A and B are shown apart, each in its own frame.
Chain A
Amino acid sequence: MSIKRNICSCCGRPITPYEPAIHFPCPNCGDVTIWRCEACRERGKSYRCLKCEFVGP
């Protein structure tokens, strides 16, 4: 049995199950789900959409 792990869009690190990470659809295209881990969110690191290359926040 394999478990799918979500990857942080900012740092590329796999997100652990009980970590207070968030996910939301890409604000620009809406097709890709963006994941942000707790550390990246606290530091205000930028994320990039894989499809439309939108850079946020």
Chain B
Amino acid sequence: MARKKKKSEETQNIEDIQEEKSSLVDFEEDFEDDLDIEEELELLDTEDLSVLGEDKAVVVDKDEEKKNLFLSCGIHIGTKLLTGDARKFIYRQTNYGLYVIDLTETETRLKIAANLLSKFVDEGSDKVIVSSVRRYGKEPVKKFCEALGCKAITTRFIPGSLTNPNIETYIRDASVVVIVDPHADKVILNEAQLARVPVVSLFDTDDSLKGIDLAIPANNRGKKALGLAFWLLAKEISIQLGKISSENDFPYTLEDFTSKIVPLYNKQQSRR
């Protein structure tokens, strides 16, 4: 009886192995079939690439150029502090503890901000107010307003300019306020809140979204980063307004938008 049982178990095992083998063969056949289809698709793709090869290479180069420009200006470098509001814009943290801003977010937000501002920009009017208390933000703001015809505030913002109609500096038809740093431009941020004016702001990793209606995640401390942010914004707005047909037609360069102030530690080093 025991021998019979053993024999029956062996035969069952052999049948199972045979079934497994047959299933493996089927799978391999299926896989081969898939491979054939993939090969066909690859061939189709290569044919398409040969037709559109030149255009695709140009696009890749443009993307790489843009990426290199972003990285060289340091627009992605944040601070060592991270607020809860800025968490969604973060890419990673470096070994030194600095938080890195996601560049794709910066690029998309710049385009979205340009889309919003292009609806309000009107040359010669004070509809769009651009303010910067930061030293490195003054030159980019001036150039931005020169290019698009907005109102620049680079000196002290007089309290009541948006809320008190009895003072001389009162701005009657303010529609949007653009600020560089929510911490530094606190006065204009509070006034815009009282005057019911939407606020667009550059947003670093240590800022909060209180009172801001559209944030552009970017480094708002470096002079190159500020210059690049405003240069891209001005270029995008002028394209959307129809002032220029392509990006190459923009009359200002990135150097025009960057601040010429030399940092204090550089001056001290040059004296030695």
Contacts and interface: CB of A to CB of B under 8 A. Distances in A.
B4 interface: no
Interface string A12-31: 00000000111011011010
A14 B194 CA distance: 19
Report which residue of A21, A28, A41, A54 has the largest number of chain B beta carbons within 10 angstroms of its beta carbon.
Answer: A41
Contacts of B196: 20-22
Q: Main SS of the interface on chain B?
A: loop
Contacts of A25: 116, 119
A24 B117 CA distance: 11
Nearest to B116: A27
B214 A44 contact: no
A22 B213 contact: yes
A44 B208 contact: yes
Report which residue of A22, A36, A43 has the largest number of chain B beta carbons within 10 angstroms of its beta carbon.
Answer: A22
Interface residues of A, number: 16
Interface in A43-57: 43-44, 54, 56-57
A20 B85 CA distance: 23
Given A25-B119, A28-B112, A54-B112, A44 B197 contact: no
Report which residue of A30, A36, A41, A57 has the largest number of chain B beta carbons within 10 angstroms of its beta carbon.
Answer: A57
A28 B215 CA distance: 13
Given A20-B196, A21-B196, A22-B198, A27 B210 contact: no
B115 interface: yes
Contacts of B209: 44, 57
A24 B116 contact: yes
Contact of B214 (A21, A27, A30, A43): A27
Contact of B210 (A43, A54, A56): A43
11 contacts: A20-B193, A27-B112, A27-B115, A30-B119, A41-B193, A42-B210, A44-B208, A44-B211, A44-B212, A56-B213, A57-B213
Given A21-B196, A22-B213, A42-B193, 19 more contacts: A20-B193, A20-B194, A22-B196, A24-B116, A24-B176, A24-B198, A27-B112, A27-B113, A27-B116, A28-B112, A36-B213, A41-B211, A42-B210, A42-B211, A44-B85, A44-B208, A54-B112, A56-B213, A57-B212
